[in-house]
Amino acid sequence: MLSLINGVQKVSLSFLDMNIRSKDLTKEVVLITGGGRGIGRHLAKEFAKQGARKVILWGRTEKCLKETAEEIALSGTECHYFVCDVANREEVYKQAKVVREKVGDVSVLVNNAAVVHGKSLMDSDDDALLKSQHINTLGQFWTTKAFLPRMLELQHGHVVCINSILSQSPIPGVIDYCTSKSSSLAFMESLTLGLLDCPGVGCTTVLPFHTSTEMFQGMRVRFPQLFPPLRPEVVAQRTVEAVRADKAFLYLPWTMHALVILKSFMPQAALEEIHRFSGCYTCMNTFKGR
């Protein structure tokens, strides 16, 4: 019994120690894909706020990238931006080389870029479906392959994925997004396990509930008081805190983890009734996107 108590005390102390000794960001060079707007913009601001040495923005829209970079530069943090479509493998490798030459080695890679088509399978354009998979899933393959080798060489780095609870609890009307995020989650789970024996290099996967950004504009939940959308600045803050604490998986809010656990043992008929009652079957009917 005494040994059990001692064990619990050690675990508790380790958690306290983890919070006390959170990772220092003052030497980190952070690259954020999809960094021009939405969660990406807030992530850039939060990393800068918490002391990152340099912030690098990647995205497809130069206007948004420039606006975000200027805002961060005004706060006193060095910020660079590069137009890059992560769906284009050759462009990723080319721009990664440019980043290394002009800015330096990336020590924190945040895979945030994503798109959503927001239609059923039969109503979806084939090219739009491919675009979702190329950006949301394969884009992470290319960016990680571009920057991870140097992290391993230096024994210092972190790979972050902004995923979605829809990767584990899909809903109708957004089949492209759910599929790509499920693939992305499997990618991160495999990568996280594969890096366990690699000193100094870690992973963080963030799985947020519906977040109030332009990307999911028009989406409506049946009980917004019970399930309010997350604010992007909160997602950004919690993400940076998770990176600093070397937390592998972060559910936002924590109740989403409970939902996943319930799903693992509840019968399908019960899950269907829960989805109907909560409005999951119809929440994308009013979707507009950006």
Name the residues annotated as catalytic: 177
Q: At what angle do helices 126-133 and 175-194 cross, to 10 degrees?
A: 20
Type of residue numbered 286: T
CB under 8 Å to 75, separation ≥6 — which residues? 45, 48, 49
Q: Encode burial over 49-87: b for 16+ CB neighbours within 10 A, e otherwise.
A: ebebbbbbbbbbeeebbeebbeebeeeebebbbbebbbb
- The answer to whether 43 and 236 have CB atoms below 8 angstroms apart is yes
Query: How far, in whole angstroms, is CA 5 from its chain's centroid?
Result: 37
Place of tokens 């059990």: 4
Cis peptide bond prior to 229, omega within 30° of 0: no
Q: How far apart are CA 115 and CA 59, in angstroms?
A: 12
Closest CA to 146 of 44, 27, 31: 31
Q: Which two tokens stand for residue 270?
A: 């019960």
Cα dihedral across residues 216, 61, 46, 106: positive or negative: positive
